[in-house]
Amino acid sequence: MRKFIIVLIVLFVIWGIPGCTKGEEKSLFNAGIYEGSAAGGYEDEVRLEVTFSKNKIRDIRIIKHKETKGVSDAAFARIPNAIIEKQSLDVDIVTGATYSSNAIIDAVKDAVEKAGGDVSALMAKQESAKPIEKGLKSMEADVIVIGAGGAGLAAAVSAHQNGASVIVIEKMPIVGGNTIICGASYNAVDPSRQKPLGIEDSTDKHFKQTYEGGDKLGKPEMIRVLVDNAYPAIQWLEGLGMEFRDITFTVLGGLWPRAHKPVMPLGTGFITTYMDYINSHDDIEVLVDTKAVKIIKENGRVTGVVADTPENKITFKANKGVVIATGGFSSNIAMRDKYNKMWPELTRMKTTNHAGAMGDGLILAEAVGANLIGLEHIQLLPMGDPETGSLLGNIEQNVENRIFVNKNGNRFVDEGARRDVMTLALLNQEDSYMYIILDTHSYPSEDVKNNFNESMTELLSKGKAVKASSLEELAAKINVDPENLKNAVDSFNKSVDSGKPDLFGRTLYQDRIDKPPYYAGARKPTVHHTMGGIEINTEAQVLDKNGNIIPGLYAAGEVTGGIHGTNRLGGNALPDITVFGRIAGKSAALTR
Q: Which of 51, 120, 126, 179 binds ligand ADP (CB under 6 A)?
A: 179
555 contributes a contact to ligand ADP by CB under 6 A: no
Residue 333 beta carbon to ligand ADP: minimum distance, rounded to whole angstroms = 16
Smallest gap from residue 343 Cβ to ligand ADP (A)? 21
Torsion of CA 236, 321, 172, 458, to 10 degrees: -20
Of the two residues 194 and 326, which places its CB atom closer to ligand ADP in the complex?
326
Give 293-329 as a 3 state SS string.
EEEEEECCEEEEEEEECCCCEEEEEEEEEEEECCCCC
Annotated catalytic residue 58: no
Site string for ligand ADP, 511-550 (x = CB under 6 A): ----------------------------------------
Give Dmax (Cα) for the chain: 77
Show contacts with ligand ADP in window 396-425 (CB under 6 A): none
Strands 45-52 and 57-64: antiparallel
Asked if residue 356 binds ligand ADP (CB under 6 A), the reply is: yes
Partnered with residue 39 across adjacent β-strands are: 45
577 binds ligand ADP (CB under 6 A): yes
Q: How far is the CB of 513 from ligand ADP (least distance, A)?
A: 34
Catalytic residue among 193, 336, 419, 506: 419
Among 28, 111, 148, 217, binds ligand ADP (CB under 6 A): 148
**Span near ligand ADP by CB under 6 A; candidates 171-179, 371-379, 407-415, 511-519:** 171-179
**Torsion angle, CA of 519/525/529/530, rounded to 10 degrees?**
170
| Nearer CB in complex with ligand ADP: 327/532 | 327
Nearest distance from C-beta of residue 406 to ligand ADP, angstroms = 32
Report if residue 150 touches ligand ADP, rule: CB under 6 A.
Answer: yes
Q: Which of 36, 41, 80, 152 binds ligand ADP (CB under 6 A)?
A: 152
Residue with CB nearest ligand ADP? 149
Kindly identify the residues of this chain, within the stretch 254-293, that bind ligand ADP according to CB under 6 A: 291-292
Instruction: Decide if residue 295 touches ligand ADP (CB under 6 A).
Output: no
- Binding-site member from 88, 126, 187, 326 for ligand ADP (CB under 6 A): 326
| Torsion sign (Cα): 209, 213, 215, 218 | negative
> Does the footprint of ligand ADP cover residue 118 (CB under 6 A)?
no
Give yes or no for a contact between 34 and 49, defined as CB atoms under 8 angstroms apart.
Answer: yes
Q: Are 560 and 537 in contact (CB under 8 A)?
A: no
Asked if 374 touches ligand ADP (CB under 6 A), the answer is no
Query: Should residue 141 be labelled a site residue for ligand ADP when binding is judged by CB under 6 A?
Result: no
Closer by beta carbon to ligand ADP, 181 or else 520: 181
* Dihedral sign from CA coordinates of 358, 433, 499, 216: negative
Q: What secondary structure letter does DSSP report for 351?
A: B
Nearest distance in Å: CB 308, ligand ADP: 9
Q: How far apart are CA 542 and CA 475, in angstroms?
A: 53
Residue 399 Cβ vs ligand ADP, minimum distance, rounded to whole Å: 22
DSSP secondary-structure letter at 25? Answer: P
Give the binding range for ligand ADP (CB under 6 A) out of 48-56, 80-88, 163-171, 505-513.
163-171
Q: CA–CA separation, 128 vs 174, rounded Å? A: 10
Taking the mean position of all CA atoms in its chain, how far away is CA 115?
20
Closest among 155, 127, 128 to 141, alpha carbons compared: 155
| One residue of 65, 86, 160, 171 binding ligand ADP per CB under 6 A | 171
Pairing of β 301-308 and β 313-324: antiparallel
Q: CA 142 → CA 101, 159, 318, 323, 406, distances in Å?
A: 42, 9, 5, 11, 54
Note whether 172 binds ligand ADP by CB under 6 A. Answer: yes
Pick from 296, 535, 558, 575: which binds ligand ADP (CB under 6 A)? 558
561 binds ligand ADP, rule: CB under 6 A: no
How crowded is residue 447: how many other Cβ atoms within 10 Å of its Cβ? 10
222 near ligand ADP, rule: CB under 6 A = no
- Tell me the C-alpha distance between 552 and 555, whole Å: 10
Asked whether the CA dihedral 110, 116, 117, 120 is positive or negative, the reply is positive
Considering only residues 62 to 81 of the shown chain, the ones binding ligand ADP according to CB under 6 A are: none
| Beta strand 533-535 pairing with 372-373 | antiparallel
Beta strands in 137-268 (DSSP E): 138-146, 166-169, 186-187, 259-260
Nearer to ligand ADP, 36 or 152 (CB): 152
- Binding-site size for ligand ADP (CB under 6 A) equals 26
Establish if 575 lies at the interface with ligand ADP (CB under 6 A).
no
Determine which residue in the list 147, 409, 552, 571 makes contact with ligand ADP, applying CB under 6 A.
147
Q: How far is the CB of 401 from ligand ADP (least distance, A)?
A: 28
Name the strand (E) or helix (H) holding 472. helix 471-478
- Residue 190 or 360 with smaller CB distance to ligand ADP: 360
**Nearest approach, Cβ of residue 295 and ligand ADP (Å):** 10
Residue 224 burial class via C-beta count within 10 angstroms: exposed 0-12, middle 13-18, buried 19 and up? middle
DSSP state of 481: -
Binding residues for ligand ADP, per CB under 6 A? 146-152, 169-172, 177-179, 291-292, 325-327, 356-357, 360, 557-559, 577
* Catalytic center residues: 419
